[in-house]
Amino acid sequence: MLITSSHDLNIVKQLQTDRPSFHLGGHARWDSLPQTLNAIRSAVKPGDVTIETGVGASTVVFTAGGSTHTAISPDPREHELIREYCRSIGVDDSRLNFVVGLSEDVLPDVLTRERTLDVAFIDGAHSFPFPEVDWCYITRSLKVGGYLVVDDITIPSVAPLYRHMTLEANWALDRVLDDRAAAFRLQALPLGEDWGNQKVNARYPDYQFADLPKRVQLELAHRVTKMSHAAARRNPALRRIYKRLTEKRASG
Protein backbone atom coordinates (compact mmCIF):
# COMPACT_ATOMS: atom_id res chain seq x y z
CA MET A 1 0.00 0.00 0.00
CA LEU A 2 1.33 3.43 -0.91
CA ILE A 3 1.77 5.93 1.91
CA THR A 4 0.32 9.27 0.80
CA SER A 5 0.90 11.26 3.98
CA SER A 6 3.61 11.34 6.60
CA HIS A 7 0.83 11.25 9.19
CA ASP A 8 0.17 7.64 8.09
CA LEU A 9 3.72 6.78 9.10
CA ASN A 10 6.17 8.44 11.44
CA ILE A 11 8.60 8.85 8.62
CA VAL A 12 11.25 10.46 10.81
CA LYS A 13 11.36 7.46 13.14
CA GLN A 14 11.48 5.19 10.11
CA LEU A 15 14.50 7.09 8.78
CA GLN A 16 16.20 6.94 12.18
CA THR A 17 15.67 3.19 12.30
CA ASP A 18 16.75 2.47 8.72
CA ARG A 19 19.54 5.07 8.51
CA PRO A 20 19.64 4.99 4.70
CA SER A 21 22.68 6.53 3.00
CA PHE A 22 22.00 8.70 -0.03
CA HIS A 23 25.23 10.63 -0.55
CA LEU A 24 28.50 9.74 -2.25
CA GLY A 25 26.90 6.83 -4.04
CA GLY A 26 25.30 5.54 -0.85
CA HIS A 27 28.44 5.69 1.28
CA ALA A 28 27.71 8.85 3.29
CA ARG A 29 24.86 10.36 5.34
CA TRP A 30 24.59 14.14 5.49
CA ASP A 31 21.06 14.33 6.80
CA SER A 32 19.20 16.99 8.74
CA LEU A 33 18.64 16.28 12.42
CA PRO A 34 15.38 14.92 13.91
CA GLN A 35 13.80 18.20 15.08
CA THR A 36 14.35 19.71 11.65
CA LEU A 37 12.89 16.69 9.90
CA ASN A 38 9.89 16.66 12.25
CA ALA A 39 9.30 20.38 11.65
CA ILE A 40 9.16 19.71 7.91
CA ARG A 41 6.88 16.72 8.52
CA SER A 42 4.48 18.87 10.55
CA ALA A 43 4.49 21.74 8.05
CA VAL A 44 3.83 19.76 4.86
CA LYS A 45 0.26 18.89 3.90
CA PRO A 46 -0.96 16.78 0.99
CA GLY A 47 -1.30 18.99 -2.07
CA ASP A 48 1.28 21.56 -0.97
CA VAL A 49 3.90 22.82 -3.39
CA THR A 50 7.35 22.48 -1.85
CA ILE A 51 11.01 22.80 -2.77
CA GLU A 52 14.44 22.16 -1.30
CA THR A 53 18.02 22.80 -2.29
CA GLY A 54 20.09 19.77 -1.42
CA VAL A 55 18.60 16.29 -1.01
CA GLY A 56 18.58 13.56 1.60
CA ALA A 57 16.34 12.39 4.42
CA SER A 58 14.44 15.67 4.14
CA THR A 59 13.45 14.70 0.59
CA VAL A 60 11.86 11.51 1.92
CA VAL A 61 9.94 13.52 4.53
CA PHE A 62 8.62 15.99 1.94
CA THR A 63 7.62 13.13 -0.34
CA ALA A 64 5.85 11.21 2.41
CA GLY A 65 3.95 14.38 3.26
CA GLY A 66 2.10 14.21 -0.06
CA SER A 67 3.35 17.49 -1.51
CA THR A 68 4.34 18.20 -5.09
CA HIS A 69 8.00 18.43 -4.29
CA THR A 70 11.05 19.64 -6.21
CA ALA A 71 14.50 18.63 -4.94
CA ILE A 72 17.67 20.06 -6.46
CA SER A 73 21.17 18.60 -6.35
CA PRO A 74 23.92 17.95 -8.92
CA ASP A 75 24.27 14.18 -8.32
CA PRO A 76 21.66 12.01 -10.08
CA ARG A 77 22.77 8.95 -8.10
CA GLU A 78 21.43 10.61 -4.94
CA HIS A 79 18.08 10.94 -6.66
CA GLU A 80 18.02 7.28 -7.65
CA LEU A 81 18.82 6.13 -4.12
CA ILE A 82 16.11 8.31 -2.60
CA ARG A 83 13.49 7.00 -5.02
CA GLU A 84 14.55 3.43 -4.31
CA TYR A 85 14.25 4.00 -0.58
CA CYS A 86 10.84 5.69 -0.86
CA ARG A 87 9.49 2.78 -2.86
CA SER A 88 11.00 0.23 -0.48
CA ILE A 89 8.98 1.63 2.43
CA GLY A 90 5.83 2.29 0.42
CA VAL A 91 6.06 6.07 0.02
CA ASP A 92 4.38 7.33 -3.16
CA ASP A 93 7.07 9.20 -5.13
CA SER A 94 4.88 10.14 -8.12
CA ARG A 95 4.85 13.83 -7.10
CA LEU A 96 8.59 13.96 -6.41
CA ASN A 97 10.54 15.87 -9.05
CA PHE A 98 14.32 15.89 -9.06
CA VAL A 99 16.34 18.55 -10.86
CA VAL A 100 19.96 17.72 -11.63
CA GLY A 101 22.15 20.79 -11.31
CA LEU A 102 23.46 23.51 -9.05
CA SER A 103 20.72 25.49 -7.39
CA GLU A 104 22.12 28.86 -8.45
CA ASP A 105 21.89 27.70 -12.06
CA VAL A 106 18.50 26.01 -12.06
CA LEU A 107 16.38 28.00 -9.58
CA PRO A 108 15.76 30.88 -12.02
CA ASP A 109 14.17 28.37 -14.42
CA VAL A 110 12.42 26.25 -11.80
CA LEU A 111 10.77 29.16 -9.97
CA THR A 112 8.89 32.25 -11.07
CA ARG A 113 7.98 35.38 -9.14
CA GLU A 114 4.49 33.99 -8.66
CA ARG A 115 4.05 32.96 -5.04
CA THR A 116 3.28 29.26 -5.34
CA LEU A 117 5.45 27.67 -2.64
CA ASP A 118 3.95 26.50 0.65
CA VAL A 119 7.10 25.09 2.30
CA ALA A 120 10.78 25.44 1.38
CA PHE A 121 14.03 24.12 2.77
CA ILE A 122 17.47 25.64 2.11
CA ASP A 123 20.21 23.06 2.63
CA GLY A 124 22.28 23.10 -0.55
CA ALA A 125 25.78 24.52 -1.01
CA HIS A 126 26.90 26.25 2.18
CA SER A 127 29.80 28.39 0.98
CA PHE A 128 29.14 32.10 0.43
CA PRO A 129 27.06 33.36 -1.40
CA PHE A 130 25.12 30.23 -2.37
CA PRO A 131 22.76 30.07 0.64
CA GLU A 132 21.92 33.74 0.04
CA VAL A 133 21.31 33.06 -3.67
CA ASP A 134 18.97 30.17 -2.81
CA TRP A 135 17.16 32.42 -0.33
CA CYS A 136 16.75 35.18 -2.90
CA TYR A 137 15.02 33.00 -5.48
CA ILE A 138 13.01 30.90 -3.05
CA THR A 139 11.60 33.77 -0.99
CA ARG A 140 10.36 35.49 -4.15
CA SER A 141 8.13 32.43 -4.75
CA LEU A 142 7.06 31.69 -1.16
CA LYS A 143 3.42 32.36 -0.31
CA VAL A 144 2.53 34.77 2.46
CA GLY A 145 1.99 32.39 5.34
CA GLY A 146 4.50 29.98 3.83
CA TYR A 147 7.12 28.15 5.84
CA LEU A 148 10.87 28.38 5.25
CA VAL A 149 13.49 26.27 7.02
CA VAL A 150 17.17 27.22 6.77
CA ASP A 151 19.64 24.55 7.86
CA ASP A 152 23.17 25.02 9.24
CA ILE A 153 22.73 28.57 10.52
CA THR A 154 25.82 28.02 12.69
CA ILE A 155 27.99 28.22 9.57
CA PRO A 156 29.18 31.85 9.22
CA SER A 157 28.31 31.94 5.52
CA VAL A 158 24.71 30.93 6.34
CA ALA A 159 24.26 32.95 9.54
CA PRO A 160 23.51 36.27 7.74
CA LEU A 161 20.22 34.80 6.53
CA TYR A 162 19.18 34.08 10.11
CA ARG A 163 20.20 37.54 11.33
CA HIS A 164 18.42 39.32 8.52
CA MET A 165 15.18 37.37 8.91
CA THR A 166 15.04 37.85 12.69
CA LEU A 167 15.33 41.62 12.19
CA GLU A 168 12.62 41.98 9.56
CA ALA A 169 9.00 42.33 10.67
CA ASN A 170 7.65 40.37 7.70
CA TRP A 171 9.38 37.19 8.95
CA ALA A 172 8.30 35.39 12.12
CA LEU A 173 10.78 33.01 13.72
CA ASP A 174 8.90 29.84 14.57
CA ARG A 175 11.78 28.16 16.38
CA VAL A 176 15.40 27.10 16.27
CA LEU A 177 15.74 23.38 15.58
CA ASP A 178 18.49 21.04 16.78
CA ASP A 179 20.58 24.13 17.66
CA ARG A 180 21.40 24.18 13.96
CA ALA A 181 18.42 25.13 11.81
CA ALA A 182 15.76 27.85 11.92
CA ALA A 183 12.13 27.73 10.84
CA PHE A 184 10.42 30.94 9.76
CA ARG A 185 6.99 31.91 8.51
CA LEU A 186 6.53 34.67 5.95
CA GLN A 187 3.97 36.99 7.56
CA ALA A 188 3.82 39.70 4.92
CA LEU A 189 5.53 40.86 1.77
CA PRO A 190 8.73 42.89 2.22
CA LEU A 191 8.39 46.67 2.21
CA GLY A 192 10.41 46.99 -0.98
CA GLU A 193 13.93 46.92 -2.32
CA ASP A 194 15.10 50.17 -0.67
CA TRP A 195 18.00 49.15 1.56
CA GLY A 196 17.02 51.87 4.01
CA ASN A 197 13.87 49.93 4.88
CA GLN A 198 15.88 46.98 6.16
CA LYS A 199 16.72 46.88 9.86
CA VAL A 200 19.98 45.10 9.09
CA ASN A 201 21.13 48.47 7.74
CA ALA A 202 20.09 50.44 10.83
CA ARG A 203 23.73 50.89 11.86
CA TYR A 204 24.70 52.58 8.59
CA PRO A 205 27.42 53.61 7.98
CA ASP A 206 29.48 50.59 9.00
CA TYR A 207 33.19 51.40 9.11
CA GLN A 208 34.36 47.95 10.22
CA PHE A 209 36.63 47.81 7.17
CA ALA A 210 38.89 50.49 8.68
CA ASP A 211 41.48 50.07 11.42
CA LEU A 212 40.53 51.53 14.81
CA PRO A 213 42.07 55.03 14.51
CA LYS A 214 40.60 55.53 11.04
CA ARG A 215 37.26 54.10 12.17
CA VAL A 216 37.05 56.60 15.04
CA GLN A 217 37.89 59.43 12.65
CA LEU A 218 35.24 58.38 10.15
CA GLU A 219 32.57 57.88 12.80
CA LEU A 220 33.24 61.30 14.34
CA ALA A 221 33.12 62.97 10.92
CA HIS A 222 29.82 61.22 10.18
CA ARG A 223 28.32 62.39 13.47
CA VAL A 224 29.40 65.98 12.85
CA THR A 225 27.92 65.87 9.35
CA LYS A 226 24.68 64.40 10.68
CA MET A 227 24.41 67.09 13.36
CA SER A 228 25.14 69.78 10.77
CA HIS A 229 22.40 68.46 8.50
CA ALA A 230 19.92 68.41 11.40
CA ALA A 231 20.81 71.99 12.38
CA ALA A 232 20.57 73.16 8.76
CA ARG A 233 17.10 71.65 8.42
CA ARG A 234 15.95 73.66 11.42
CA ASN A 235 17.61 76.95 10.37
CA PRO A 236 17.53 78.20 6.74
CA ALA A 237 20.48 80.56 7.31
CA LEU A 238 22.63 77.70 8.57
CA ARG A 239 21.51 75.63 5.62
CA ARG A 240 22.82 78.25 3.19
CA ILE A 241 26.13 78.51 5.06
CA TYR A 242 26.52 74.75 5.16
CA LYS A 243 25.76 74.53 1.43
CA ARG A 244 28.45 77.11 0.61
CA LEU A 245 31.02 75.32 2.79
CA THR A 246 30.17 71.98 1.16
CA GLU A 247 30.51 73.44 -2.32
CA LYS A 248 33.82 75.10 -1.37
CA ARG A 249 35.23 71.77 -0.08
CA ALA A 250 34.04 70.00 -3.22
CA SER A 251 35.76 72.52 -5.48
CA GLY A 252 39.04 72.16 -3.59
If you count DSSP H runs as helices and E runs as strands, how many of each does the chain have, helices first?
9, 7
What pLDDT, on the 0 to 100 scale, is given for residue 192?
A: 72
pTM of the model: 0.85
Give dist(CA 40, CA 50) in Å, integer.
10
What pLDDT, on the 0 to 100 scale, is given for residue 238?
A: 57
Class of domain 6-201 as given by CATH: alpha beta
What pLDDT, on the 0 to 100 scale, is given for residue 223?
A: 87
What pLDDT, on the 0 to 100 scale, is given for residue 8?
A: 45
What pLDDT, on the 0 to 100 scale, is given for residue 5?
A: 44
Identify the segments of the chain with pLDDT beneath 50: 1-8
Give dist(CA 198, CA 112) in Å, integer.
24
